[in-house]
């Protein structure tokens, strides 16, 4: 490694530590998950729900640079390869030898309680990021038929949905996620959760539902490119939403 490469690597590691001490601490620990960068077999939500320990880091369904300039290559590399990977490793370590080791990911998220801090943070981290990668696409899309109708029915219009979702995402204090969810009765609603919580965590969140779209508003998701301008990151997020995938989740 030459000096320049070292400096670059060292500064990236520092950024990782600043932005997410939780997973950055993990990068030097044992690597129990497998990364297959060549794999195109990305876990779908149903597939994701049925997966059990040991969990693996799913490959991105596009190139790291595919979402640029809306989400830049370096952010994607660090976010996927360091942050998400860290959650996967820590999740596997946290559930080893516990009741969670025989449960699938959905069962884990639905059953965790107040005292399961490590599984909560890292199980949430693994699920949320897996859903997030698949929520994005380099193809500029618009909401497709069924979902478009549902957004209009439940929010008034696509623009009204967008405004409400943007407000929710901007309003997250500190680190967390904004969600578009489907409730048990099929209605859509917008909510947000702190840290790596999500609306599947029945015992921990106020509003439960199945997430069909999620936006990561942790600083590690945008800080390299947008610095403090979370609003700009949110606005550009709408240009890279994979609405086909959101529709698929809506219909499931």
Angle at CA of residue 183, ends 210 and 53, nearest 5°: 20
Q: How far is the CB of 36 from Mn ion (least distance, A)?
A: 21
8 Å CB contact between 137 and 152: no
8 Å CB contact between 129 and 91: no
Q: How far is the CB of 115 from Mn ion (least distance, A)?
A: 24
Q: How far is the CB of 143 from Mn ion (least distance, A)?
A: 24
The one segment of 8-16, 174-182, 218-226, 231-239 that binds Mn ion by CB under 5 A: 218-226
How many other C-beta atoms are found inside a 10 Å radius of the C-beta of residue 146? 11
Is the CB of 133 or the CB of 250 nearer to Mn ion? 133
Is the CB of 209 or the CB of 214 nearer to Mn ion? 214
Check residue 219 for interaction with Mn ion (CB under 5 A). no
* Site map (CB under 5 A) of Mn ion, residues 160-199, x = contact: ----------------------------------------
Q: How far is the CB of 130 from Mn ion (least distance, A)?
A: 11
Helix axes 158-171, 145-155, angle to 10 degrees: 70
8 Å CB contact between 53 and 100: yes
Is the CB of 100 or the CB of 218 nearer to Mn ion? 218
Q: Show the tokens assigned to 89.
A: 């490793």
Size of the site for Mn ion (CB under 5 A): 3
Q: How far is the CB of 221 from Mn ion (least distance, A)?
A: 5
Cα separation, 181 vs 201, in Å, equals 13
Q: Would strands 188-194 and 176-182 be described as parallel, antiparallel, or unpaired?
A: antiparallel
Q: How far is the CB of 21 from Mn ion (least distance, A)?
A: 13
Calculate the alpha carbon distances from 120 to 20, 91, 152 in Å. 16, 9, 34
Question: Site for Mn ion (CB under 5 A): which residue of 216, 217, 224, 240?
Answer: 216
Q: Hey, is 38 helix, strand or coil? A: coil
Of residues 121 through 160, those in contact with Mn ion by CB under 5 A are: none
By CB under 5 A, name the binding residues for Mn ion.
216, 218, 221
């Amino acid at each position: 490694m030459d000096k320049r490469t070292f400096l670059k690597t060292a500064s990236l590691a520092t950024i990782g530590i600043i932005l997410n001490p939780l997973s950055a601490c993990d990068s030097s620990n044992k690597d129990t998950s497998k990364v297959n960068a060549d794999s195109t077999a990305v876990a779908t939500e149903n597939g994701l729900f049925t997966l059990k320990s040991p969990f693996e880091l799913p490959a991105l369904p596009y190139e790291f640079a595919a979402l640029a300039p809306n989400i830049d290559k370096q952010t994607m590399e660090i976010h996927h390869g360091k942050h998400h990977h860290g959650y996967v490793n820590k999740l596997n370590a946290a559930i080893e030898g516990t009741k969670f080791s025989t449960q699938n990911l959905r069962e884990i998220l639905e059953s965790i309680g107040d005292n399961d801090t490590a599984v909560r943070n890292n199980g949430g981290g693994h699920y949320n990021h897996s859903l997030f990668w698949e929520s994005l696409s380099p193809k500029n899309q618009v909401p497709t038929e069924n979902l478009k109708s549902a957004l209009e029915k439940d929010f008034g219009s696509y623009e009204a949905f967008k405004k409400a979702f943007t407000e929710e995402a901007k309003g997250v204090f500190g680190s967390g996620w904004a969600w578009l969810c489907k409730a048990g009765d099929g209605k859509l609603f917008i909510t947000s959760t702190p840290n790596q919580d999500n609306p599947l965590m029945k015992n921990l969140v106020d509003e439960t539902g199945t997430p069909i779209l999620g936006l990561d508003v942790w600083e590690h998701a945008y800080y390299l490119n947008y610095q403090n301008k979370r609003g700009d990151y949110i606005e550009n997020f709408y240009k890279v939403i994979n609405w086909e995938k959101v529709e698929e989740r809506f219909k499931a």
